[in-house]
Chain A
């Protein structure tokens, strides 16, 4: 009996050791699963930064020193205009005048014009950041051997002029102003449309509808809408806003001469439908979190439902609603697929000027540049991604700060 017992014990202990080992192995594999996601994030950021900076071998069509003894940046506007007149053909100058009258341009814009029209720098070869840092000698040797007329420069593809220059088909001179403004226009209009409707729907569902059949349909419907692929919203936008309501979205109804409905307005309407479920679900949660004692206090004083909602429920729920809206907006900023369908054009360089302008947005440009074969477009794409990620990071930080600020206030 005693003997049996000890056998049982020793067996159990041997077993236990094995079980602990299994437990430990699995623990590390679970940990690994968690870190693989984070590891990919690091790789992703690294590859973007790797491509957004690095050496380039550049050849100038005309040596800037032959145009002026002084650096272009230090020249006066008049001098720049005369350089331009002397060095481009008469017809070309006329074309330039027609597109952007030079007299109205700022000095920095004139410098850009001289660069793109006369100096015409061409990137012959671009290098990633890592080889640039580790293998500079090799790069210089390549330049001397293969491109004796070119120079090696270190280039940050993301730069102030990258943000402020309009789009162009040349990766060396393109900026993203057109796309940034397009994104901004669409987001602002989208928020103007979706924010009030979203809050209105959330108020109706939380404060008015008493679980009747209609509100149940609306709730189920919103949950399902949130799961529909964004490209389907794009199809809806194409069929209804771009095509069906062409007369309105093109601005033809107020006499704007615009051939199609592929406008900021169509894009913003489509985006509104896309983020509406997100705004509603978040706003519902925020409204639900308002303590009912607040509502009772208000009703107890003889307030109507509307007065209670307007003066007490909404102000208390607003931080939560705003946080949810910011998150929905950051989703909209990164959306690409639906905008392809409603006709974002990747080849415009005119800034959007209103609801009825044609447009492009940052993610569309990233898509477009990523799929181009030339390596330099990848650099430009990487730089644009950096800009996009910084914008999103800022928005998300704002949302988190808002949420923390709110919960701290609540605790006090």
Chain B
């Protein structure tokens, strides 16, 4: 697997994202590697989430949003005419800022996505497996039929992760998954991410630098340019970004002199 390091799973080429005529993100080039945790950090409003959501075409739902440039997933541009965005989202799952379980039972929350995607094996096993993978099984195994909304925030977010895993994606996008959680729940999610990175590639947007430093392998630093458009300033190994940033802006940001 180590040789995969050189082979990116996602290659972003000269990506710009527009909301109507406003250019929200400008000329981003980025390579995401397999089975790594890639963090995207930067001040608020710099387009981190916008970039993340473009990776599985969630921006399609925002009226007036459009992109320029390419996002290659295994060498295939996911914005090509012949690509089905629904298929993209099946392979690139997403966990949102606020936990958003369906108002159904825990079991159904996980089973629904898998069933919809044509899963035909033993559903009970799949539910148990994904809940174990999401480190939630021990807490909920006796109450699988309970409404998911009755779980705590941290449990809900892990359920959302389990739900995404059940669809068997290759990549999991996480949009500030811990911003609504307390520190203990946050720590659990970070441990879980580490665990999951053996089998999945994870891209996480976070405004919490400690989280990026603790939990990620690669870090991309974004900021806003003078047109208020998001630009990528620096990208590299997390250890390098946080200990030896090449760019002055990155250094200012991570040392707290900016934003």
Contact = CB atoms under 8 A, between A and B. Distances in A.
Question: Do chains A and B stick together as partners?
Answer: yes
Interface of A: 210-211, 291, 293-304, 307, 311-312, 316, 412
Given A302-B86, A302-B90, A303-B113, A297 B100 contact: yes
Nearest to B90: A302
A320 to B, nearest CB: 14
Nearest to B109: A297
**Residue of B93, B100, B160 with highest tally of chain A CB at under 10 A:** B100
B96 A312 contact: no
B58 A302 contact: no
Contacts of B164: 300-301
Given A301-B116, A302-B167, A303-B113, A316 B103 contact: yes
Contacts of B86: 302-304
A297 B61 contact: no
Contacts of B96: 293, 296-297, 300
Interface in B212-238: none
A161 B116 CA distance: 55
Contact of A300 (B63, B87, B89, B101): B89
A170 B95 CA distance: 72
Interface in B109-155: 112-113, 116-117, 149
A407 B95 CA distance: 27
Interface string B79-101: 00000001111110111101011
B250 interface: no
B206 interface: no
B26 interface: no
A211 B62 CA distance: 12
13 contacts: A296-B61, A296-B96, A296-B100, A299-B61, A300-B95, A301-B90, A301-B113, A302-B88, A302-B91, A302-B113, A302-B116, A302-B117, A302-B167
A281 to B, nearest CB: 22
B100 A294 contact: yes
Nearest to A295: B61
A301 B89 contact: yes
Which DSSP category, helix, strand, loop or mixed, fits chain A's interface?
helix
B188 to A, nearest CB: 20
A371 B87 CA distance: 67
B215 to A, nearest CB: 21
Nearest to B166: A301
Interface of B: 56, 58, 61, 63, 86-91, 93-96, 98, 100-103, 112-113, 116-117, 149, 160, 163-164, 167
A301 B58 contact: no
A316 B100 CA distance: 14
A307 B86 CA distance: 11
Give the 8 A-B residue pairs with the shortest CB-CB distance, closest first: A302-B90, A301-B113, A300-B94, A293-B100, A302-B89, A297-B100, A304-B86, A301-B167
Given A297-B160, A301-B89, A302-B86, 20 more contacts: A293-B98, A294-B102, A296-B96, A296-B100, A297-B100, A297-B163, A299-B89, A300-B89, A301-B116, A301-B117, A301-B163, A301-B167, A302-B87, A302-B91, A302-B93, A302-B116, A302-B117, A303-B89, A311-B116, A412-B149
A300 B58 contact: yes
A318 to B, nearest CB: 12
Nearest to B94: A300
Given A210-B63, A293-B96, A311-B112, A300 B56 contact: yes
A294 B96 CA distance: 11
A302 B163 CA distance: 11
Contacts of B61: 295-296, 299
Contacts of B112: 301, 311
B22 to A, nearest CB: 18
Contacts of A311: 112, 116
A315 to B, nearest CB: 8
A222 B56 CA distance: 36
**Residue of B94, B95, B117, B149 with highest tally of chain A CB at under 10 A:** B94
B102 A297 contact: yes
Nearest to B103: A316
A299 B87 CA distance: 10
B93 A297 contact: no
A293 B86 CA distance: 17
